[in-house]
Amino acid sequence: MKNQSTSKKATYIGFGAILLWAMLAVLVSLLGEIPPFQMLAMSFYIAFFIGLIAAFFSQVNLIEIAKMPLKVWALGVSGLFGYHFLLFSAFKNAPVLQVNLINYLWPLLIVLFSSFLPKTLGGGGLKYWHIIGALFGFGGMVLIISSGDVSLLQNSNWFGLILAWAAAIVWASYSVLCRLVAHISSHAITLFCLVTAIASTFMHLYFEQTIFPQDLIEWLAIFALGVGPVGGAFYLWDYGMKHGDIAILGASAYLTPLLSTFMLVLFNISQPDFRLWIATIFITFGAVFAAKDVIFMVNKK
């Protein structure tokens, strides 16, 4: 019963990351001309300092955590920096709609990859409700991102599409493999954020021209990114992936593009149409159906 309670709590914490990621598009839209790698560097430096503060109040010794095995370092850095490097490189080599479409296959990949984990690590094989929920979520996501025109994929730059596929595979693999290193404290994300920030700084200096935020709104947006979707969310996601239900989180991650779209509409950045409401039905049903394990536990208790 204690393990079930811990898993349920960790799953809810993982949901927090999904909610924070929903703010990404709105915050990025407030950043004007700030280039992507500069944005990542600034955001991850903020995330690093937030991690330092959390470690201080939690009396966690980051120096001791830094002695973790090299394979854990490789996993963390490839997950944070590797994913964002591939994703932003894909944006430079293919249209945004196609890249987003392929990138948001990572929730479905998480559901599929998690079935290969042993039962002792929360795998236990795919259940029919995970598959149905993931497929409904995928259908709704396609409606939002591709405006219902999947044929757009036929005229894309294939190099960019390959990079987007790689990004989706890297993030899904990282998320699932976190379960294998569940004994490593989630405070290790602080160190991964530092390495990601440094690597992003080098990428920015090599490929981009520095453009500082022009007003208070842009500075606040950068800070919010570091606290939330490009920083703080990774602490929540790491804990959820290590101790929660991976299949449920993977399927429920389809809420990200839906919630992101609602935020864009709320802030008058995008206008709603009938596809949004159809997608709402698809994604909401998919997420609830895939997460029926957690709902059942709540009702039972």
Question: What is the SS3 assignment for 80-104?
Answer: HHHHHHHHHHHHHHCCHHHHHHHHC
Structure confidence at residue 173 (pLDDT): 92
Range of the domain at 86: 2-300
* Residue 208 neighbours by CB distance under 10 Å: 15
Instruction: Please answer whether residues 60 and 185 qualify as being in contact, where contact means their C-beta atoms are separated by less than 8 angstroms.
Output: yes
Residue holding tokens 């593009």? 257
Residues with Cβ within 8 Å of residue 250, at least 6 apart in sequence: 107, 108, 109, 110, 111, 114, 130, 134, 172, 175
Show the tokens assigned to 54. 């959390």
How many domains does the chain fold into?
1
Show the tokens assigned to 33. 């001309």
- pLDDT of the chain, 301 residues: tens digit per residue: 446 677 888 888 999 999 998 888 788 888 878 888 998 899 999 999 999 999 999 999 999 999 999 999 999 999 999 998 888 888 777 776 667 777 878 887 887 787 777 766 655 667 787 788 888 878 877 776 665 555 555 555 778 888 888 998 999 999 889 888 888 998 999 999 999 999 999 999 998 999 999 899 999 999 999 999 888 898 999 899 888 888 788 778 878 877 877 787 788 776 667 777 787 788 778 777 776 665 555 444 4
Would you tell me the crossing angle of helices 274-290 and 255-266 to the nearest 10 degrees? 140
What's this model's pTM, rounded to 2 decimal places? Answer: 0.80
